[in-house]
Amino acid sequence: MTDYILEMINISKSFPGAKALDHVNLKIRKGEIHALVGENGSGKSTLMNILSGFYPYGSYEGEVFFENELCHFSSVRDSKEKGIATVYQELSLIPTLTISENIFLGNERRNRIGIDWGKTNNDALGYMNKVGLKESPRTLIKDIGKGKQQLVEIAKALSKDVKLLILDEPTSSLNEEESRKLLDLLLELKRSGITSILISHKLNEIAEVSDSITVLRDGNVIDTVSNNDHRIDEDEIISKMVGRKLSSRYPDLERNISDEVVLEVRNWNVYHPIYQDKKIINDVSFKVHKGEIVGFYGLQGSGRTELAMSIFGKAYGTKISGELYVNGNKCDFHSVKDAILSGLAYVSEDRMYNGLILDEKISFNTTLASLDKVEKHGIIDKDKETEVADEYRKKTRNKSVSSLQSVRDLSGGNQQKVLLSKWLFTDSDILILDEPTRGIDVKAKYDIYLLVKELLLEGKTIIMISSELPEILGMCNRVYVMSEGEIIADLDAKDTDQEMILSAILRQNKKAGQEQ
């Protein structure tokens, strides 16, 4: 008897014009946390889609053994019945249903007359306790944060007697505290005998919790390494992922910063769009100079995104007050269009829902914010649209097949490059980049960093919002630290480290707690 719970042998999978997997072999030991890493498009998701039954038997070559049994999954339902469950980066919960309803969706607790709601809620509490979710089972999904929604997804998997849990970028949209809790939960599940496959671009998290790491590149397994001592060399893993050594994770940036202030916010206040007595941004003031890249950092709920969106044509909030100056001119934006016309662009943190129209072509999405540049007499010039998209595909190093390709079919990194192209085409002088590298691989990140460098050389000004402190410190000139809707520090990045920033936040939180 083998101690492997899963063996995937000589797995090959092709799509029109591309071979996604080429004789891939993967072995997972029972009870381990096995990390799967690689660039976007390396084959990780395709391999897991075969395992989950999303790509049915017959659509690929090779064999899948689960618990020593040859499996021919024809659907996701087949793999679930064997105890394989997947928690995707984009969650599959229904926002208007309760936590307990989501946990048992398709697996309802019934009695003779229908759903037994008492048993549903009581059983849900048991699984919620296992994952550390302290909410009422009757709470609606839309009323809890992304981190808690991830825990609901895992509780849902546990309710179906999961033996192998696949997690696809589970911490990509979580703050540090939520990520910490999720990683601790994975270790707890391991102690209870559950095997996990962790797909992530966050190598520090992989180093901390995984027992083994398999590296994929261009549809091939490059190496599987043991991580029993949790002391992997991250640079070595990156080298295996990209096929060469990266001398630095961040490019050297030119520091041609002018004394000219191109964006200034004074005494900015914003209230919640629904709960209008709740103040989200409290008396915020800051300045950004021409040619500067300024970082905004804070934990989840600090108000970074809400601040950016409220500045960008009042796209968020109510009862907005304060003064906004662009290039020395006082502005009162009433719409996103006003902000764009004044030279601002905002690259949303949520490319899937607020940034791109996934079922449309790259060309359509690229010109979406500047249709006046590709239309004549109210009719879109399709040739011009394609020409523009091709230009920006080249500029952003987008590896798509053509500008006529659907955005939905692209990797996360290439989708992000389309979103950037959309706003670059507006030719804005001030770009607000909200989580510009969330959920994309190290090579795609570096491409975006190079693009930021090129924009700075063109005289653009960048505001970067990020949850990754190394990124903030590696890319920015200055860092504004936010907590509870306020700016609590303005720091020179070259004289700052992660500990200083986190200490400032902890001191502020402690002070706020004492004042309550």
Q: How confident is the model over 9-64, as pLDDT tens digits?
A: 999 998 876 788 999 999 999 999 999 998 777 888 899 999 999 999 999 999 99
116 within domain boundaries = yes
Cβ atoms of 366 and 403 within 8 Å: the answer is yes
Given this model, what pLDDT does residue 203 score? 84
448 within domain boundaries = no
418 within domain boundaries = yes
Same domain, 417 and 468: no
Ordered DSSP codes for 134-193: -S-TTSBGGGS-HHHHHHHHHHHHHTTT-SEEEEESTTTT--HHHHHHHHHHHHHHHHTT
| Bridge partners, residue 61, by sequence | 12
Same domain, 156 and 132: yes
Last residue of a domain, one of 217, 242, 267: 242
Total domain count, the chain: 3
Same domain, 475 and 385: no
Last residue of a domain, one of 221, 242, 263: 242
Same domain, 314 and 216: no
Element (H, E) at 505: helix 498-515
Please give the structure tokens belonging to residue 285: 């003031």
Q: Check whether 135 has a pLDDT greater than 80.
A: yes
Residue 35 DSSP SS3: strand
Same domain, 385 and 296: no
446 within domain boundaries = no
Same domain, 368 and 302: no
452 within domain boundaries = no
Query: How confident is the model over 174-196, as a mean pLDDT?
Result: 85
384 within domain boundaries = yes
Last residue of a domain, one of 242, 269, 291: 242
Q: What is the CATH number of the domain that holds 505?
A: 3.40.50.300
Helix spans in 61-159 (H): 76-81, 99-103, 117-131, 146-158
Query: How confident is the model over 199-219, as a mean pLDDT?
Result: 89
Same domain, 223 and 123: yes
pLDDT in tens, 93-122: 899 999 999 999 888 888 888 889 999 999
Query: How confident is the model over 227-241, as a mean pLDDT?
Result: 82
pLDDT in tens, 144-162: 877 788 889 888 888 888 8
| Bridge partners, residue 24, by sequence | 11
Query: Lowest-pLDDT range, 69-73, 217-221, 476-480?
Result: 217-221
Same domain, 35 and 97: yes
Same domain, 377 and 435: no
- Confidence band for 1, pLDDT divided at 50, 70 and 90: very low
Same domain, 42 and 73: yes
32 within domain boundaries = yes
399 within domain boundaries = yes
Same domain, 36 and 118: yes
Q: Which domain holds residue 174?
A: 4-242
What is this structure's pTM? 0.69
Same domain, 230 and 262: no
Helix spans in 243-335 (H): 304-311
What is d(CA 249, CA 25) in angstroms, rounded to the nearest whole number?
Answer: 30
